[in-house]
């Protein structure tokens, strides 16, 4: 039996603060794995992957969920709060600062250039989003029915503009029934 | 003022509970509420804060904080933050406590299999709704298409793509 050192709340929040502030442009999960599994050894790979599966299953930002999962596993409620505060606290502060700069820039010199640059960033950010969809679809959609379900959700919400609270109560039961049916045989 | 704070709270608390497939899947609903229903932001401002939240450190769901801040100042940003992150975190905490037992149950595989296409559909919906919700020029569509393919099929770091996209618009003048 191998015993793992139980991290202090301060160590947990510090680790997640460094993850939160060093993962620009996405790809945060890789940072979490490097810090928690490889550097600190607080979880092994299997525990990490199980938590990652949970984080994707439950609603909410995957990496925030993963932080809460890891905190819960290691130190219960205080651990979950320490990880959540570490991961989201510093970005919350930088977001409020960036937000006041952005919303306060009207009429300032350079506004036109910033606006242009942001249009370019936005175009790329939409591409990153669609690219993420393609990557996810490649790794987990293998059959026609799930592909149709994904396409229905994408078009009804993204193009026709139906609210999620209308689409999901219809599509989640359909998807559950399809998954159950495909596993029966 | 208090009314706006409540509107922010309910909007993000509800969306927090249906954000399957990661936080980005609820962006079409945030966009509709913030731009079309409440007029807190213009369509261009919404795309800008999406770009900023995707480029700046921290989770992409921080877009909620920008919406709250524009609607009701720092208090709005903080209310949006709490509503967006706390309800889903409480759910994760309780699910995490029983997760090891659930790992061996057959229903878990069914739920995982069923939610995957929902999350993927929501991810695509976000890209589609942002692309047609704004006055997109041809160059922007070309950049989006290129970024989609490069990100999906190569391992170029996203931050390089963001820098390239921003620079391209600055150099060509739009």
Domain regions of chain A by residue span: 1-110, 122-185
On whether any CB of chain B is under 8 Å from the CB of A120, the answer is yes
Asked whether the beta carbons of residue A178 and residue B50 sit closer than 8 angstroms, the reply is no
Per-residue pLDDT, A1: 35
Nearest Cα to Cα of residue A39 among A21, A55, A53, A18: A18
Asked whether the beta carbons of residue B118 and residue A172 sit closer than 8 angstroms, the reply is yes
Per-residue pLDDT, A14: 95
Asked whether the beta carbons of residue B55 and residue A25 sit closer than 8 angstroms, the reply is yes
User: Distance (Å) from the C-alpha of residue A83 to the closest C-alpha of chain B?
Assistant: 11
On whether any CB of chain A is under 8 Å from the CB of B156, the answer is no
Q: Enter the tokens of residue A62.
A: 């995957």
Nearest Cα to Cα of residue B50 among B161, B121, B131: B131
Lowest mean pLDDT among A65-74, B81-90, B100-109, B136-145: B100-109
Asked whether the beta carbons of residue A120 and residue B170 sit closer than 8 angstroms, the reply is yes
Per-residue pLDDT, A180: 94
Q: Which residues contact A60 (CB under 8 A, 6 or more apart)?
A: B16, B19, B23, B61, B85, B88, B89, B91, B92
Query: In terms of CA atoms, which chain A residue is nearest residue B81?
Result: A92
Per-residue pLDDT, A152: 97
Average pLDDT estimate for B114-125 = 90
On whether any CB of chain A is under 8 Å from the CB of B49, the answer is yes
| Cβ atoms B99, A102 nearer than 8 A | no
Chain B residues with CB under 8 Å of A91 CB are 56-59, 62
Chain A residues with CB under 8 Å of B116 CB are 136, 140-141, 146
The pLDDT-based confidence of B136 (bands split at 50, 70, 90) is: low
Average pLDDT estimate for B100-116 = 82
User: Distance (Å) from the C-alpha of residue A180 to the closest C-alpha of chain B?
Assistant: 6
User: Distance (Å) from the C-alpha of residue B4 to the closest C-alpha of chain A?
Assistant: 18
On whether any CB of chain A is under 8 Å from the CB of B75, the answer is no
Q: Which among A87, A111, A122, A150 is the top mutation candidate for probing chain B, defined by the most B β-carbons within 10 Å of its own β-carbon?
A: A122
What is the percent of chain B with per-residue pLDDT over 90, rounded to a whole number?
66
Asked whether the beta carbons of residue B89 and residue A120 sit closer than 8 angstroms, the reply is no
Tell me how far the alpha carbon of residue B90 is from its chain's centroid: 20
Q: Residue B110 pLDDT > 60, yes or no?
A: yes
Per-residue pLDDT, A12: 96
Cβ density class A89-119: b for 16+ within 10 Å, e for less: bbbbeebbebbeebbeeeeeeeeeebbbbbb
Asked whether the beta carbons of residue A155 and residue B128 sit closer than 8 angstroms, the reply is yes
pLDDT tens across the length of chain A (185 residues):
344 568 999 999 999 999 888 776 566 777 888 889 989 999 888 888 888 878 888 899 988 999 999 999 999 999 999 999 999 999 999 999 999 999 998 888 888 899 999 999 999 999 998 998 898 898 888 899 999 999 999 999 999 999 998 999 999 999 999 999 998 86
On whether any CB of chain A is under 8 Å from the CB of B169, the answer is yes
Per-residue pLDDT, A2: 44
Distances (CA, A) of A85 to A19, A88, B75: 12, 5, 18
Question: How far, in Å, CA of B15 to CA of B23, rounded?
Answer: 9
User: Distance (Å) from the C-alpha of residue B80 to the closest C-alpha of chain A?
Assistant: 11
| Cβ atoms B84, B12 nearer than 8 A | yes
CA dihedral B117, B123, B128, B134 (to 10 degrees): 160
Asked whether the beta carbons of residue A154 and residue B130 sit closer than 8 angstroms, the reply is no
Per-residue pLDDT, B25: 87
Per-residue pLDDT, A3: 43
Would you kindly state where each structural domain of chain B is located, as residue ranges? 2-136
């Amino acid at each position: 039996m191998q015993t793992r050192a139980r991290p202090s709340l301060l160590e947990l929040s510090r680790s997640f603060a460094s993850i939160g502030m060093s993962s620009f442009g996405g790809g945060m999960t890789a940072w979490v794995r490097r810090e928690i599994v490889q550097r600190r050894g607080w979880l092994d790979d299997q525990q990490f992957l199980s938590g990652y599966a949970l984080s994707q299953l439950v609603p909410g930002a995957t990496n925030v969920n993963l932080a809460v999962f890891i905190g819960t596993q290691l130190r219960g409620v205080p651990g979950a709060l320490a990880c959540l505060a570490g991961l989201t606290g510093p970005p919350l502060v930088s977001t409020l600062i960036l937000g006041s700069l952005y919303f306060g820039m009207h009429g300032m010199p350079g506004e036109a250039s910033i606006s242009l640059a942001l249009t370019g960033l936005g175009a790329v950010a939409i591409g990153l989003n669609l690219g993420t969809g393609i990557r996810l679809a490649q790794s987990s959609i293998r059959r026609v029915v799930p592909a149709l379900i994904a396409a229905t959700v994408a078009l009804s919400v993204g193009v026709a503009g139906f609210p999620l609270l209308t689409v999901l109560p219809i599509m989640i039961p359909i998807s559950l029934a399809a998954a159950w049916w495909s596993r029966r045989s | 003022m208090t009314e706006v704070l409540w509107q922010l709270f309910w909007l993000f608390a509800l969306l927090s509970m249906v954000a399957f497939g990661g936080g980005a899947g609820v962006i079409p609903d945030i966009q509709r509420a913030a731009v079309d229903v409440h007029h807190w932001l213009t369509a261009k401002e919404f795309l800008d804060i999406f770009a900023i939240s995707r480029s700046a450190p921290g989770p992409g769901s921080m877009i909620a904080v920008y919406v709250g801040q524009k609607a009701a100042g720092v208090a709005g940003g903080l209310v949006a933050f709490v509503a967006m992150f706390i309800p889903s975190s409480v759910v994760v905490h309780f699910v995490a406590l029983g997760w090891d037992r659930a790992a061996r149950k057959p229903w878990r595989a069914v739920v995982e299999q069923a939610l995957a296409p929902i999350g993927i559909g929501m991810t695509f919906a976000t890209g589609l709704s942002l692309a047609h919700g704004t006055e997109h020029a041809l160059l922007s569509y070309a950049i989006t298409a290129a970024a989609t393919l490069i990100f999906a099929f190569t391992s170029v770091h996203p931050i390089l793509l963001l820098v390239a996209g921003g620079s391209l618009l600055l150099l060509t003048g739009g």
